[in-house]
Chain A
Amino acid sequence: MGAEAGDILVLRPGSVGDDLDAVTPALTEAFARAREALAAGRPVAVLVDAGDLLGQGSPLDAALATGLLGMVRTLGIEGAKSGWRVNVVARGEGGEEAVEETVAMLARSPLSGQLLTLGGANLGKVVP
């Protein structure tokens, strides 16, 4: 599920499709890996699809994406005093280059607990 980008841990959960039994392991693995990295002083970026945050695809992928967002926000709250840096990047328009630039920015940014949405496809929609 993960890939390293410099000193930042990048989590890229794959699609769970229609597999209900895959949701809990995916969320739990993301939690465990994020916590381990944060405890080691490494920032974390969780990549999801912007459309999944609004439920524009598979219901289970939407549950996974928004579940990760809720988890990240809590980790951001809990780790505020410790300097934890954990964020969600929502992939929209712009392709992989935009993702890499954003992750590189997050690797050196004090931002935490935030959702950064790439591209404007979901502007005018509800804020996830």
Chain B
Amino acid sequence: MTAAGTAIVTGAAGGLGGRIGERLAAAGHELLLVDLDPAVEEVAAAAGARAVVADLTQAAGVEAVLAAAGDDVAVLVNNAGITRDARATKMNEADFATVVEVNLVAAMRLTLALEPRYRDGAAVVNMSSRASLGNFGQANYSASKSGLVGFGRALAQRWAPRVRVNAVAPSLVDTPMTQAMPPDVLAKMVARIPAGRIGTPDDVAGIVAFLASPEAGYVTGQVLFACGGRSVAP
């Protein structure tokens, strides 16, 4: 166990989750990386971290994380998320429910289950999205990511001053998911970002690390938009 305590990152098999883990490890945290994808074990091994392969929509998955988390949780980053995009008129209700269950309810379940394990001064960082403000084809995703904002605001008040709870709201981030988009579609989306480029995992990981750090000790219940200005652009 390190003096900085344990940092848990969900959705850690992906590029963004892995980069967040690296930043938190650099801050001295002992890492516990969680993902449904067994590839998280390789990511953890490369980072000198522990891994849990778990489905957080299931009680057994949450129990597996609790069993590995220990009693000195300093940071929880709820980064796991999926998309099932479609216009509302075409959206399958099952896809709506699945996205809400994975992105929102699973994160809430883990966050609440860990309540007795947080150390004084711990930080929860929820990965919301610029799409929480509304985004074409993402009624389910918008609901889930906006829901995380409200959940965090409430916990920030309920758990203060022992635990801080904040959210990061990225826009497009350079991950395998965005790399798979048709180039012309991606170019149109980037054109709407004042920063003129897609975000990098480092852009977001740095914000997460800041919100998790003592330097953000007076910040709770907030959302930080790390979206290159997309949230204010036409």
Contact = CB atoms under 8 A, between A and B. Distances in A.
Interface of A: 20, 23-25, 27-28, 31-32, 35, 38-39, 52-79, 113, 126, 128
Contacts, number: 139
Interface string B163-175: 0000000000000
Max chain B C-beta neighbours (<10 A), residue from A39, A64, A74: A74
Interface in B89-133: 89, 91, 93, 96-97, 100-101, 104-105, 108-109, 112, 131-133
Contacts of A126: 222
Interface of B: 87-89, 91, 93, 96-97, 100-101, 104-105, 108-109, 112, 131-140, 142-158, 221-222
Interface centre among A35, A54, A64, A78 (most CB of B within 10 A): A78
Quick one: which of B96, B101, B145, B146 has the most chain A CB within 10 A?
B146
A59 B135 contact: no
A76 B134 contact: yes
Given A27-B100, A59-B158, A78-B88, A20 B150 contact: no
Given A20-B108, A23-B105, A73-B133, A66 B138 contact: no
B146 A60 contact: no
From B100, B145, B150, residue with most partner A Cβ within 10 Å: B150
For the complex, would chain A's binding face be called helix, strand, loop or mixed by DSSP majority?
Answer: helix
Nearest to A57: B154
A106 B207 CA distance: 39
A61 to B, nearest CB: 8
Given A55-B153, A74-B134, A67 B146 contact: yes
A28 B97 contact: yes
B149 A73 contact: no
A24 B132 contact: no
A80 to B, nearest CB: 10
B155 A66 contact: no
A74 B136 contact: yes
Contacts of B108: 20, 23, 59-60, 63
Given A28-B97, A31-B96, A70-B133, A56 B104 contact: no
Contact of B152 (A25, A55, A57, A78): A55
A68 B143 contact: yes
Given A20-B105, A24-B101, A60-B108, A69 B146 contact: yes
Nearest to A26: B100
B86 to A, nearest CB: 10
Contacts of A39: 89
Contacts of B89: 35, 39, 78
Contacts of A77: 134-136
A57 B158 CA distance: 9
B222 to A, nearest CB: 8
A23 B57 CA distance: 13
Nearest to A59: B154
A62 B150 contact: yes
Contacts of A31: 88, 91, 93, 96, 139-140, 143
